[in-house]
Amino acid sequence: MGEIEIAVRFSCSSWLSLMQAYTSPILPRMHYVCTFGPTQQDVLRQIAMKIVMFRLARSELPLGHEVVQFMLDSDTHMWSIRRSKANWFRLIGFLSRATAVFCWLDRISTWVHPPTTVLVHALLIAIVFFPYMILPTIFMYSFLILLLRFRNRPRVPHDMDPKISYVDMVNLDEIDEEYDGFPTTRANEVVRIRYDRLRLLAGRAQTLLGDVAAHGERLEALFSWRDPRATGIFALICLVASLVFYAMSFKGFVLLSGFYYMRHPRFRDDMPSILSNFYQRLPSFSDQIM
């Protein structure tokens, strides 16, 4: 009565066909010529899931519909706190790499490590005077990074990761909510508690969406004359900038901008810059929403 685990590995006998698969589209041609909308895709996904579920239910060892739904991920569009946390931290993990680059640039501009800042000054001068070396340097640097990471490559295919899925950090109520059907079949008091919790989380997302929309509306306000004085100042700046850049070489502009960004902290001011103050005072539709 022991357990037997079978691992199946799929491989391709033709190496050329395997390389060609990387350049081939994933879906058939009709999907790209006449693309289905999200609603149609969801209907087809549910129909396919029901067909598989009915066939497996009539097999010699019947398989429950809960197992089929879990294996086919037919409920990925349903709300789940666990899955939301997992996707949120996936996004944070992706953006953390970009944040690390900005933190590195900030440390360079504030002279945290002076030798590194001096080397970046030299690199900026080399890039300005030898621009044809930018792309070869970037690709060679990427090749060397990949070559160094080759030794630490994963040896086996990845399986389900409970840590990334945050399975070990959910309580019983969140698990019960995730396995609840649609429409819900739970008591009114339970639904009220979950609804209040969802309103709390959705309120934070709503605030974030409003802030992102306000930033885009401020940029749009520069060209729509919603604030005549700000747009007039911006038009005058554009006129002066066009004349300055006509007389000034682009290499000199890049060099002066880099030196100004990496200026010593004693030449910096603690208050926000003039451009930041000007941008924050541009109008948006936030004050017009009820």
SS (H, E, C) 203-231: HHHHHHHHHHHHHHHHHHHHHHCCCHHHH
Token pair for residue 43?
């209907």
- Residue 263: φ, ψ to 5°: -65, 160
Token pair for residue 213?
């929309």
Q: How confident is the model at residue 240 (pLDDT cuts 50, 70, 90)?
A: very high
Nearest C-alpha neighbor of 232 from the set 218, 221, 243: 221
Q: How confident is the model at residue 157 (pLDDT cuts 50, 70, 90)?
A: low
For the segment 7-12, the average pLDDT, to the nearest whole number, is 76
Nearest C-alpha neighbor of 266 from the set 125, 122, 123, 114: 114
Neighbours of 173 (CB within 10 A): 14
- 177: exposed, middle or buried (C-beta count within 10 Å: 0-12, 13-18, 19+)? buried
165 with 84: CB under 8 angstroms? no
DSSP state of 110: T
- Vertex 185, ends 182 and 190: CA angle to 5°? 110
Task: Give the per-residue SS3 of 87-99.
Answer: HHHHHHHHHHHHH
So what's the pLDDT on residue 6? Answer: 74
Rounded Cα distance, 186 and 284, in Å: 43
Neighbours of 122 (CB within 10 A): 9
So what's the pLDDT on residue 239? Answer: 92
Q: How confident is the model at residue 75 (pLDDT cuts 50, 70, 90)?
A: low
Token pair for residue 129?
């005077």
Least confident span in 5-14, 135-144, 212-221, 228-237? 5-14
For the segment 154-174, the average pLDDT, to the nearest whole number, is 76
215 with 209: CB under 8 angstroms? no
For the segment 200-206, the average pLDDT, to the nearest whole number, is 87
Nearest C-alpha neighbor of 279 from the set 214, 219, 210: 219
Computed over every residue of the chain, the mean pLDDT equals 84
Rounded Cα distance, 42 and 1, in Å: 41
Rounded Cα distance, 235 and 233, in Å: 5
Q: Is the pLDDT of residue 236 over 90?
A: yes
74 with 49: CB under 8 angstroms? yes
- 113: exposed, middle or buried (C-beta count within 10 Å: 0-12, 13-18, 19+)? exposed
157 with 78: CB under 8 angstroms? no
So what's the pLDDT on residue 1? Answer: 63
